[in-house]
Amino acid sequence: MRIGFLNIEWTDALDVLLVSVLLYQFYQLVKGGLASRVFVGYLFVYVFYLIVKGMGLELLTSILEYFMGVGAIALIVIFQQEIRHFLLLIGKSTDLSNNRLIARFFGQTTKKSADSSLKLILQSCKAIASEFNGALIVLRKNQDLSRFVESGVKLDAVISQPLLISIFNQYSLLSEGAVIIENDRVVAAKCVLPVSEVEENVPIETGFRHRAAIEMSESTDAAVLVVSGQTGKISLALEGELLQNMHIEEIDKRLRGYLAI
């Protein structure tokens, strides 16, 4: 198809469409903060560069080409967090272990056993919260958490309310760090989790446990329960989002849906 002096093929239209979708998705990822304004500013400079190049202004084109080259490196530094989040999302979506059909085919913990374990975990969280003790409990979904297990004290114990309460007792040597639960067993305690930097969408007063829960749920497909030692409230972190001010019944429903129990 020819429009004026332009000869447009269907591949050109597809190319423009894909680039538009990519730019839109990236803008959605960075919008609402300083990074979004930098992104839009760089985009305007690039459009101006294309116009100048099309007009044949060689000196200005050369200056802008140098700026665009240096600017691309600067963008990688500025958007390192956003790029990391974007790649994590892609990695999660392409992970075959997250496919429920495949997970069922290869055999997972029975629903009855998982249901009983989840009840015990939530009852334990309520008991811990009533004593205003802090807790951080990681529930494995599909992804391997062995590198986090190795950072703590291995237990490989059956889940029980007395066990979890004793671990997060303020006088316990295992109270610092996280408990990791997989296949209905407490595999390790006092595990070290990654801690996210304070971002614009995370309140600055958010504590260590809550930031660790956010980062853990973002970098893996695990669900993370957090009990605040100050307020006695229970929060849930899923896929990099911290869900707060929820009733225990709502947390139970969210976990059942996410973990397919």
Q: Which two structure tokens, joined as six digits, stand for 87?
A: 């790649």
Residue with tokens 């429009």: 3
- Does any domain span residue 220? yes
Sign of CA dihedral 79, 82, 86, 91: positive
pLDDT score recorded for residue 154: 94
Is residue 215 located within the same domain as residue 135?
yes
Per-residue pLDDT of the chain (261 residues; tens, 9 = 90+): 555 555 667 787 788 788 888 777 766 665 655 566 777 777 788 888 888 888 888 888 888 888 777 777 776 776 666 666 666 666 655 555 445 444 454 444 456 678 889 999 999 999 999 999 999 999 999 888 988 999 999 999 999 999 999 999 989 999 999 999 998 899 999 999 988 665 555 555 568 899 999 989 988 889 999 999 888 999 999 988 899 989 999 999 999 999 887
CA distance 119 to 201: 31
Query: How far are the Cα atoms of 129, 177, 189, 190, 253 from residue 166, in angstroms, in the given order?
Result: 13, 14, 11, 13, 26
Residue 188: φ, ψ to 5°? -160, 155
Which residue stretches of the chain are H helix? 10-30, 34-55, 58-78, 80-93, 100-105, 111-130, 146-149, 161-167, 208-219, 248-259
Is residue 229 located within the same domain as residue 115?
yes
Q: Which two structure tokens, joined as six digits, stand for 251?
A: 């947390």
pLDDT score recorded for residue 92: 58
DSSP bridge pairs for 233: none
pLDDT score recorded for residue 89: 64
194-234 pLDDT, tens digit per residue, is 886 655 555 555 688 999 999 899 888 899 999 998 889 99
Q: Is 0.85 topped by the overall pTM?
A: no
DSSP 99: -
C-beta of residue 180 within 8 angstroms of C-beta of residue 138: yes
- Does any domain span residue 175? yes
Is residue 146 located within the same domain as residue 75?
no
- Does any domain span residue 71? yes
Name the residue range of residue 254's domain.
Answer: 110-259
- Does any domain span residue 100? no
Please count the structural domains in the chain.
2
CATH assignment at residue 185: 3.40.1700.10
Is residue 11 located within the same domain as residue 122?
no
CA distance 136 to 124: 12
